[in-house]
Amino acid sequence: MGSKQTVFTHEQLEEYQDCTFFTRKEIMRLFYRYQDLAPQLVPLDYTSCPAVKVPYQLIGSMPELKDNPFRQRIAQVFSEDGDGHMTLDNFLDMFSVMSEMAPRDLKAYYAFKIYDFNNDDYICAWDLEQTVTRLTRGELSAEEVSLVCEKVLDEADGDHDGRLSLEDFQNMILRAPDFLSTFHIRI
C-alpha cells in the first residue's frame, strides 16, 4: 500500500474519514481485509461505487467474529437489509462503531439493537432469554435462565412496563463503566 492508491478517489476517502472514526491508513487496511474475505467478488477499484455485498457466511468466518456468540446479530444489525450480507459501507460502519474511539451513546444504541432479537425496539423477556442462552451456552437450566431474565427486568426496567426501552438500557449502561472497554472489537 504505497502513497498512491487507486481504490478510492480522494473525495471518497475524505468522506469515509469524516463519517467514521478511522484514519486514511486504517480505512485502506480495512478495505483490504474486506477484499480478502471474497477476492473474486470484491473489485479492487471502488471509484465507481460498485454495489457488492459479501455474504454473511464469509463475514461470520472472520477471526475477530467467528467465536463471538453474537456474530449473527452484529452482522444483521449493521447490514443494509438485516440479513447479514454486508457492503463495504456496512463493514466500515460496523468496525467504526466497535472501535475504541466511538462514544458511549453510539455504542449503547447499537448494543441495544444487537440484543433486540425480534427488532421491535424493546428488549423484552424473550430477547433476554435469547441473550442469556447465547452467553452461557446451555450451561444454565431453563428455570435459572428465566430467573435471570426476571432479575434483569427488575433491575433495569425504569418505567415498569415489563421490557427495556432504549432509555432504560442506556441508564443501565451508565452504571457499568466497563461497557466502553468491553464493547470493542479490535481489527
Partner 1 sequence: MMSDNRVHEIIIELENVPSGIQNHPSPTQIMRDKPLANSAFSMVSSTSDIHVTDSLIFSHRNDKKHNQLLEFSTSLKEPISQTLRSPECLGIDTACTFHETVQGQKLITSLIPMTSRERIKTIRNQPRTMEEKRKLRNIVDKEKSKQSHHTLQLKCCAQYLNSISRGYRRSKNSLSDLLSSISLWQKALKVIGGKFGTSVLSYFNFLRWLLKFNIFSFALNFSFIIIPQLTVAERNTLQFTGLEFLTGAGYFTKTVMYYGFYTNSTIRHRSSGPSYDMQLAYIFTIGAWLIACFFSLLYSMAKYFRNSFINPHIYSRGIAKFIFCWDFTVTHEKAVKLKQKNLSTEIRENLSEILQENVKFTFRQQLACFSAHVAAWLVSAGVAAACCVAVYYLAEYNSEFLRTHRDPGAVLLLPFVVSCINLIVPRFYSMFGLVERYEMPRHEVYTLLIRNIFLKISVIGILCYSWLNIVALSDEECWETFIGQEIYRLLLMDFVFSLADSFLGEFLRRIIGMRFITSLGLQEFDIARNVLELIYAQTLVWIGIFFCPLLPLIQMITLFIMFYVKYISLMRNFQPPSKAWRASQMITVFIFLLFFPSFTGVLCTLAITVWRLKPSANCGPFRGVPLFIQSIYLWIDTLRKRSGYTWVVWIYQNLISSVHFFFILTIIVLIITYLYWQITEGRKVMIRLLHEQIINEGKDKMFLIEKLTKLQDMEKRAKPSTLILERRETEQQGPLHLGECDATPDLRFRRSVQEDNLKA
Contacts of partner 1 in 2-41 (CB under 8 A): 15-21, 23-26
Site for partner 1, residues 42 to 81, rule: CB under 8 A: 63-70, 80-81
Closer CB to partner 1, residue 31 or residue 183? 183
Q: Establish if 170 lies at the interface with partner 1 (CB under 8 A).
A: yes
For the chain, the distance separating the N- and C-terminal CA atoms, rounded to the nearest angstrom, is 17
Q: How many residues bind partner 1 (CB under 8 A)?
A: 85
Spatial CA neighbour of 136 closest among 41, 79, 69 = 69
Q: What is the 3-state secondary structure (H, E, C) of 40-96?
A: CCCCCCCCCCCCCCECHHHHCCCCCCCCCCCHHHHHHHHCCCCCCCECHHHHHHHHH
Site for partner 1, residues 80 to 109, rule: CB under 8 A: 80-82, 89-90, 92-93, 96, 98, 103-106, 109
Site for partner 1, residues 111 to 150, rule: CB under 8 A: 111, 113, 115, 118-122, 124, 126, 128, 131-132, 135-137, 139-140, 144, 147-148
CB atoms within 10 A of CB 149: 20
Give me the least distance between CB of 41 and partner 1, in Å please: 19
Spatial CA neighbour of 77 closest among 38, 106, 119 = 119
